[in-house]
C-alpha cells in the first residue's frame, strides 16, 4: 500500500472529513466539542509527513500566560508541539518520519492534535481573550441574545461574592 493510500485509508476508517488538494496534501477536519472543529494539513514531504493544525488566533491579552501555558503543555504532547506563526496565531505542528508512518501512528498523532486543540481551547480563550469574552457577554445581555455558547466562561463575568463583573470600557 502506498503512503497516499495508507493516509486516505486511515482518514476513512476514522470517518474524518478531508479533501485531497493535490498530490501529497490533505486538508482534514477533526470534529471537537469545545472547539467545534480543528482544521489541519497533512503534507507528504521527501522525508516526513508534516501535520499542521490551526488552534486559535493571536491572543488579545495575557500573552505571557498563554505562552507559558503552551510551553508547559508541549512537555506532555506526543508527536506535535505548539508554535506561533509570525502573526502570533497558535498552531500545533509535528512531523512523522516516512519510515514511521503507519495507520496506528497517524491515528495516535491525529488523536493528540484533537485532544490538545479541543481540550486546551477554553483555557487559551480564558488566558488570551478574557476581555473580549466579557465584552461579548455584556453585549449579548444588553440585546437579550443567547448566552448558551458562552456558559463555559460564566466565571469570567460573575463573581460568587459580588455578582456580575462588567467589561472594562
Q: By the 8 A CB rule, do 129 and 63 touch?
A: no
What is the structure's pLDDT at 167? 43
Question: Would you say residue 166 lies in a domain?
Answer: no
CATH code of residue 33: 3.30.1460.10
Domain range holding 112?
3-131
Grid coordinates of 24: 501529497
Average pLDDT of the residues of the chain:
92
What is the structure's pLDDT at 160? 52
Counting as low any pLDDT under 50, the low residues of the chain are: 162-169
What is the structure's pLDDT at 6? 96
Structurally, how many domains does the chain consist of?
1
Question: Would you say residue 119 lies in a domain?
Answer: yes
Question: Would you say residue 70 lies in a domain?
Answer: yes
pTM of the model: 0.87
pLDDT digits (tens, 9 = 90+) for 82-114: 999 999 999 999 999 999 999 999 999 999 999
Question: Would you say residue 148 lies in a domain?
Answer: no
What is the structure's pLDDT at 83? 98
Name which of 126, 161, 38, 58 is nearest 137 in CA terms: 126
Please tell me the distance from the alpha carbon of residue 85 to that of residue 80, in angstroms, as a whole number. 15
3-state helix, strand, coil in the chain (%, to 5): 45, 25, 25
Question: Would you say residue 154 lies in a domain?
Answer: no
Grid coordinates of 81: 508541539
Amino acid at each position: 500500500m502506498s503512503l497516499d493510500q495508507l493516509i486516505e485509508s486511515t482518514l476513512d476508517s476514522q470517518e474524518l472529513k478531508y479533501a485531497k488538494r493535490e498530490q501529497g496534501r490533505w486538508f482534514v477536519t477533526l470534529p471537537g466539542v469545545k472547539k467545534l472543529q480543528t482544521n489541519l494539513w497533512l503534507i507528504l514531504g521527501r522525508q516526513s509527513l508534516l501535520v499542521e493544525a490551526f488552534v486559535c488566533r493571536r491572543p488579545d491579552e495575557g500573552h505571557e500566560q498563554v505562552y507559558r501555558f503552551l510551553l508547559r503543555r508541549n512537555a506532555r504532547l506526543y508527536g506535535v508541539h505548539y508554535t506561533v506563526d509570525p502573526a502570533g496565531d497558535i498552531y500545533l505542528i509535528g512531523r512523522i518520519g516516512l519510515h514511521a508512518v503507519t495507520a496506528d501512528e497517524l491515528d495516535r498523532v491525529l488523536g493528540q492534535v484533537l485532544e490538545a486543540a479541543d481540550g486546551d481551547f477554553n483555557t487559551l480563550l480564558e488566558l488570551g481573550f478574557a476581555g473580549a469574552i466579557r465584552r461579548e457577554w455584556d453585549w449579548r445581555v444588553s440585546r437579550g441574545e443567547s448566552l448558551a455558547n458562552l456558559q463555559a466562561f460564566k466565571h469570567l463575568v460573575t463573581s460568587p461574592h459580588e455578582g456580575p463583573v462588567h467589561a472594562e470600557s
